[in-house]
Structure 1
Amino acid sequence: MDYVSRDTILNTMTNSLDTIKQKYNLDDIDIREQPADDDRYYFGYKVEKGGKEYTIHLPYVKNEEGEMMIEKIEWIVQGNHGEEIGYSNLDEVFSDKL
């Protein structure tokens, strides 16, 4: 994987919102981003379906130029149940959670 700009990540995610919403029959979906440590960042989605709400995100690392790359493909799911780590794709997340 290559490092890319924050804008590239957000544009890619924005372009996929309708597809994800339709594919998983979601009530709502929105983009979430959260800085962590100096060189870590999280990008993902806040999703709602049938009264349940989850935040789903991937960890990214940031280089000296401010560009980012996925640290590892391991989706993290946060909700009322706490936090679960280890999903390798969105299909796994949605088949397990929603």
Structure 2
Amino acid sequence: MRENDMRPTFKTSPPLRLSDVRRGQYATVCGFAPDFPAARQAHLMAYGLTPGAQVRVVQHSPVTVVQVENLEIALERSLAEGIRIG
């Protein structure tokens, strides 16, 4: 992230799960929970949810919606809980 970028991000004590990130905040994908199914990982990674990708949480209800670049992705709660962020 650029020095003059004013977007809210986690600088200290980041939540570990994407489901913990508040609406409107940005986070960086670090990976997936150890028990996250490999097929689901591959599917999400094909949509840009890869380690190092910056995402913005758009909403959490009724599903979690995140923006990755110019794409919005809707995720069931269990998926959002399995995505690790930093």
TM range (shorter): 0.3 to 0.5
Higher relative contact order (CA 8 A, sep 6+): 2
Q: TM-score, normalised by structure 1?
A: 0.34
Larger radius of gyration: 1
Q: TM-score, normalised by structure 2?
A: 0.37
Higher relative helix content: 1
Higher relative strand content: 1
